[in-house]
Amino acid sequence: MHSPLIHVMMKAVRAAAKGVIRDFGEMEKLQVSKKGVANFVTSADVRTEKILLEQLAQARPKFSFLSEESGLSGNEKATERFVIDPIDGTTNFIHAIAYVAISVAAQSLDKDGNWQTTAGIIYDPIHDEMFIAEKGKGAFLENYKLRVSTREEDALIGTTSPRTYRKDFDYTLEAYSRLSRCGHTLRSMGSAALDLAYVAAGRLDATWYHKLNLWDLAAGMLLVSEAGGKITDEHGNPYTSENGSIVASNRLLHAGIIDALKV
């Protein structure tokens, strides 16, 4: 049985997903300029976030929010908040590739003033797959309990391809190359949130990202942890939102991946 908080999050995500599904269907029909497509996707992002904020604020008025489009909002003194990525995988969305997700995490302040994720949902609206996790209660795909893979070699690893316009291009290109030379297969599928959900489900064996925002990761990290996986930054240290790098794995591959990423 899911908690009332998870039911609130599920309801909000499903309400927001209706527009995402409709907009995704329109992408293949759009015959407009690149700017026109970008504007369409930005509008879809903003519209999806608005629905999530409205639904969640109505159900949990004492919560604050950290979201991709709006940043920090809501109750400034809140000890609980939602972390929202309305459409993770916008490049896929632009190209009508069915690998996008809505990601929502609930967090609480601990006694040291740090935000800890207590619940998370990653929803693939195109394939109608709802990945759910609650701290201490496990990770699920609908009602099916998730466990990370047990693969120790020939791993399938989700990541992003190095991009020349990003500041750390040379570093990520070399790290990408080193990871490939270890015999692993890399997949750049375009949604970090779904990659993390897939690690939790055992579909991917690990995922590595050099720099990402918290809203890309918060729900997915809880899913991986609750499915028995391991999470650190790319140097093997505890993840911090200030650093933003992440390696999430089935544990068995973790040390080797960290070692391979040393440039």
Amino acid at 177: S
Q: Are 105 and 219 in contact (CB under 8 A)?
A: yes
Q: Are 176 and 227 in contact (CB under 8 A)?
A: no
pLDDT given for residue 33 in this prediction? 45
pLDDT bucket at 205, cuts 50 / 70 / 90: very high
Domain 4-145 sits in CATH 3.40.228.10: no
pLDDT bucket at 175, cuts 50 / 70 / 90: confident
Domain ranges of the chain: 4-145, 156-260
Q: In the numeric block, which tokens belong to residue 261?
A: 């990423």
pLDDT bucket at 176, cuts 50 / 70 / 90: confident
Could you read off the pLDDT of 117-141 as tens digits, one per residue?
Answer: 999 999 999 999 999 999 999 999 9
Q: For 156-260, give the CATH class.
A: alpha beta
SS3 217: helix
Could you read off the pLDDT of 25-61 as tens digits, one per residue?
Answer: 777 665 444 545 666 667 888 899 999 999 999 999 9
- Residue pointed to by tokens 């996008």: 100
pLDDT bucket at 197, cuts 50 / 70 / 90: very high
pLDDT given for residue 31 in this prediction? 44
Nearest to 44 by CA among 9, 70, 19, 65: 19
Could you read off the pLDDT of 2-24 as tens digits, one per residue?
Answer: 899 999 999 999 999 999 998 88
Nearest to 17 by CA among 81, 104, 120: 104
DSSP assignment, residue 28? T
With pLDDT > 90 as the criterion, what percentage of the chain qualifies? 67
Q: Please report, for the chain, how many H helices and E strands are present, in that order.
A: 7, 13
